[in-house]
Every structure is written in structure tokens, then in C-alpha cells.
Structure 1
Amino acid sequence: MGSRPLPNCKYLMLALDHRDGFKKLMNPENPNLASKERAIEYKKQILESLRDKFSACLIDEDYGLPAYKSITPPITTPYLLPIEDTGYRNEDGERITVVKKTVEQLKDLGASAVKLLVYFCPNSKSSNMQIETAKKIVQDSHENGLPVFLEIVTYNSNLEDRVYNSIKEFLKEGVKPDVFKIEFPGSEQQCISVTKLLGDTPWILLTKGTDYSMFCDQLEIASKNGCQGFLAGRSLWQELLNMKDGKEKEIFLKDTLPSRFDEIKNIVNSYTTQNEISI
């Protein structure tokens, strides 16, 4: 489809790029004891469970990519890779994105798109730095023929319009990714405001680890009011990492997880006639 996603399409995507956070879910008391091999195996199981469901997946280089490549028969669905390092650098309580890779490196790894996560607090000391990081990654990605999914996660603010205002700051400085991946904007009216603000630029919902049923409620409100899909992660699969019983895991992977993905796909499909798109 070329380097740019289409504005009139929907995005039904799996998020599985978690790294340190994934190990914390595997072993909350001592994440360092969670082995790389086990993390890869968990991600392989999740990918296999949903391989026929998602239009694209977001995976990481450390665990997700080896899992993706180990599956037979091979998954042909395209994948995004994160360009930032796991977590963030803390500077006086502010969260600074650390870019780990170049766009060229992600392209060499087979990525069909770039994902950049930016923690953002409007009017903070780091806000301009975060915006400039996003601007550079968007420019580099487009020069290399790859679309960009910009994920904005707000912090240190309880204002209802914090998501809207954060997006507005990026747009004001000329940052226009191909897709905005954002938190639930907060209400029906805020969803409408975000849709109007973005015009023909699509926005999709992230789960942020919320309870699955709550995410469904958020997705329904968002989809009614302009959201064009999701990049869904922890809310779908996080319970798996705490299950001890083999039979329980088997049922979750065979029935629960695919049913959940079907349900959220149906929510999006109920409110849009747009074409499902890959990347």
C-alpha cells in the first residue's frame, strides 16, 4: 500500500512490544528472574493464538521478533517495531524518550512501520524535547518510506482534556504522524474533539493495561466518535502470564484470547464501514 496508511481505513492490531513491562508481568516480585526464553515462548503462544485475527502486530526486537520468526507455518501479516528504548529516562520527575534504533535499522529488521512512544506532560520542561524527538522520527521514517504510529501517553495531569491538548501541541509544531495511537480521551465529547482536531489523520486506541471489560467500553465510545481501530495489548492477554495451571493456559489461548480479539474487532466494525487495512 506504499509508505502511508490511508485515512479512511480501520486498524485492528495486536500490541506485543512490551519488554521490561512484560518481564514484570511474568515475575512481579523479581522481573530479572524472568528468562528471555520464557518471554519469547509466551509471545509465540499469543501470536499463534491470534495469527488469523490481527491486521498487523507491534512487536519488539528482543522477544517479539524471535517469537514471530519461530512460528510455522510463517506468519505473513506485517509488523511494526518500536524505535524507542524500553521505559524512559527520568530527569527531575519528567519522562524522556530515549531513541534506541535508527529508522534504517528497523527497516533492515523487516518492519513495515515505525512506532514511537512519547510520554508527554504539556507545559513541562521536557515537552519541547519530546516534540522534537517525534518530529525527527516522523521525518526520518517518511524519508525511508515507512509510516509512523505516534503513541502519546500523558502523565502528571488529571485534566479531562489532557489527551486533546497533548495532540494539539504536537500538531502546532508540525508533527504529523500517519496514525496517532492514544489513550482513551476521557469522554464522548473529548473523542469528538480529538477527531475534529486531527481531520484526516487517523487515531486508534491503546489499552494501557486497563481491565478488558473497561477497554471494551472505552473502545465503543471512541469508535462511535471517530476512532479508527486499536493497537491492543495487555488488556487482552496479561492474565496469561500469571496462570500456573496448564489447562487454564490452554483454554485461555484457544478460546478466551481469540474471543476477546473478535469482540473488539466487532466493536470497531459496528461503527465503521471502512476497509480493514494492513500496513
Structure 2
Amino acid sequence: MNPLTTIERRGMSAISTPGGKMLIVAADQRNGMKAAMKDAPGGAAAISKAELAEAKADLLRYLANNAPAILLDPEVALPGVVDDGVLARGTSLVVGLDASGFETVDGLRYTGLVPGVTAKTVRELGGDVAKMLWYTRPDRQDVTSRVADEMRSLIKECTDEGVLLIVELLTYQLEGETDEDYAAKFAGLVADGAKLAVECGAKVLKLQYPGSAEGCAAVTAAANGVPWAVLSAGVDHETFLGQVATAMAGGAGGAMAGRSLWKDSLSISPDLRRDYLTNRALPRLRELADVVDGANRP
């Protein structure tokens, strides 16, 4: 286990429910949100930065201000929602540090930081906590790999700055790898990725659902006391509720939900967005909170 500093404990508390479980509305997506908005009837072929920023502000106004925390990006949403007073006093801000997309080197994926954004600027943007995404294939990457070096460096930078860093990991299918081979490896890749990140000093993890109760237990064992939250990965709300219930029973520490909450609220015209977020997305958030805190967990 990698212990939290005192200030990191404050950050952990800020992103957690009264029951002490992580619950974050993920809204740092850029390309994914644009794709959802293009699906709206009469949607534009290209979504402008201003239109995307307003959609993110609406997600905050009508949905995430009812959650412990929201995850936003510094390319589109920040610092606007803070400066404009959209972010509610009781909702904490997680700043996503990862730039959109990835590069591929020798068949492996690598992400980069948003230009100009550091652990220090997280505070300057009004953030309470930071988040960084790394793609991992722990069957080809170990503690001496480039991705491990990147993790160690940013974790140390954030710790030195007094900023809790959520380490998000995504495993992926390699070129030439069959669907069957990848599916057979998937749960192990999620668990081994968690183990690698913890060995690099990670203190909080955001991970894919490993597929089963046994997979969740294996992830919890690999995390070795480091709390992990399950991400929604674009599945529908009902499916995600079941995944979260299984993950929590298997030792997970919370959930971070994006498209499962709000995708259909963006795939409509902007004048209907408030109604959809209020009457569809918000009840989903409350159902998710009940599962996370155990009030509605089998």
C-alpha cells in the first residue's frame, strides 16, 4: 500500500460520498462528447470548442453539481466553469491532465500531458485532485518500461506539489492479437496493470471492469490496499450498475461514470439538454450513489 499524505487524504475525502466511497462524474472527454453531440437530430458536422464548453457546463449545472466531484479537462472546460461560477461550492474538481489521443511506438500506446498543464497548475485551475491516463500492456511493460517511468515521475511531481493523483489505466488489444486471445487475457491485464501502477507509487486507481467477481477480487489483491474505482467505459447505465455492485463487493472503492450517465443527454438538441440531464441523468447518478454506498447493493 502507498500511504496518502495528510493533504492527499483531504483530496480523497473531497471526491468521496458521505459513506467514504469515490463517486466522480467523468466529463473530461473531448472527442467522445463531440461524437455524441453530432448524433443529435440536426447535429452539426463539426462541434465548435464553444459548443463543447457549453455542453460541459450544462453537465456540471444539472448533473455533476449533485455529485461529490466532477472530472474536467483544461483544454475546453477549465478554468471557465470555475471563473463563471458554474461549479458549485460543494462539488470538488478533478483536473484531467491527459491530452486527447495517443501515439503508437513499437506497437504500444503512449499518452501525453495537456501542453502547459502540470501538478502546480491543477491548483491554479481551481482543482482539488488530478487525473492522468496511461495505456498499459503489463505483459509487455514492467517497472523498467517507459510507461512506468512516466508514472513514477508524475506521481512524484504531484506528491511534491500536494496534489492527489488518480492513475487511470486502460488496457487494449495489440495489432495482430485475436479477439479470443485478448478476451482471455483481459482480466489479468487489468489486475497486472494495477500491480504495475502500485509498484510505481500510485495511490488511487481508476480501472476498467475486469469482467467478473473473481476478476474484481484479483484487482483488489493486486492493488495491495490502494483504492480503485471502476470506470464506465461507455456501457449503458443498467449494465454499469451491475458492474459497480460486483466491483464494490469485490473490494473496489467507488465509481467514475461518464457516458453511462450523460451520453443520451448530449445526443439531443441543446434546448432539451437541461430536461434530459435533470430527468434522466440525475436519477441515474442517484441510483449509482446508492450502489456505491451500499444502500442498493445485492
Q: What SS is found at the alignment partner of 1:123? A: coil
Looking at structure 1, the residues matched to 32 and 270 of structure 2 have their Cα atoms a distance apart, in angstroms, of 22
Looking at structure 2, the residues matched to 250 and 82 of structure 1 have their Cα atoms a distance apart, in angstroms, of 24
Cross-structure match for 1:68: 81
* CA distances 1:209-250 after superposition (whole Å, capped 9, x unpaired): 112211111111111111111111111101122213845x34
Looking at structure 1, the residues matched to 222 and 135 of structure 2 have their Cα atoms a distance apart, in angstroms, of 20
Cross-structure match for 1:169: 196
Looking at structure 2, the residues matched to 130 and 181 of structure 1 have their Cα atoms a distance apart, in angstroms, of 16
Q: Is the 8 A contact 1:80 1:112 kept in 2?
A: yes
**1:117 aligned onto 2:133:** yes
Looking at structure 1, the residues matched to 76 and 150 of structure 2 have their Cα atoms a distance apart, in angstroms, of 25
Q: Is the 8 A contact 2:62 2:278 kept in 1?
A: yes
Looking at structure 2, the residues matched to 85 and 31 of structure 1 have their Cα atoms a distance apart, in angstroms, of 24
Cα 1:239/1:70, change in 2 over 3 Å: farther
The one-letter code matched in structure 1 to 2:36 is: L
**1:87 aligned onto 2:101:** yes
Q: What SS is found at the alignment partner of 1:80? A: strand
Q: What is the percent sequence identity of the aligned residues?
A: 25
**1:99 aligned onto 2:99:** no
TM-score (normalizing by structure 2): 0.81
Q: Is the 8 A contact 1:161 1:186 kept in 2?
A: no
Superposition pairs of residues 217-232 of structure 1, within 5 angstroms: 217-232=242-257
* CA distances 1:127-186 after superposition (whole Å, capped 9, x unpaired): 811111111110000000011100000001321322012112233xx3122210000021
Cross-structure match for 2:203: 178
Number of residue-to-residue matches in the alignment:
269
Looking at structure 1, the residues matched to 295 and 212 of structure 2 have their Cα atoms a distance apart, in angstroms, of 17
User: Residue 288 of structure 2 is aligned with which of 264, 268, 271?
Assistant: 264
Cα 1:24/1:43, change in 2 over 3 Å: same
Cross-structure match for 1:12: 23
Cross-structure match for 1:277: none
User: Residue 162 of structure 2 is aligned with which of 145, 154, 164?
Assistant: 145
TM-score (normalizing by structure 1): 0.87
Looking at structure 2, the residues matched to 51 and 125 of structure 1 have their Cα atoms a distance apart, in angstroms, of 36
Which runs of 5 or more residues in structure 1 are unaligned? 273-279
User: Residue 24 of structure 1 is aligned with which of 15, 20, 35?
Assistant: 35
Q: What SS is found at the alignment partner of 2:7? A: coil
Looking at structure 1, the residues matched to 202 and 70 of structure 2 have their Cα atoms a distance apart, in angstroms, of 18
Which runs of 5 or more residues in structure 2 are unaligned? 1-5, 174-181
Looking at structure 1, the residues matched to 246 and 295 of structure 2 have their Cα atoms a distance apart, in angstroms, of 10
Cross-structure match for 1:132: 149
Looking at structure 2, the residues matched to 27 and 66 of structure 1 have their Cα atoms a distance apart, in angstroms, of 25
State the 1:201 CA deviation. Answer: 1.2
Cα 1:199/1:271, change in 2 over 3 Å: farther
**1:53 aligned onto 2:66:** yes
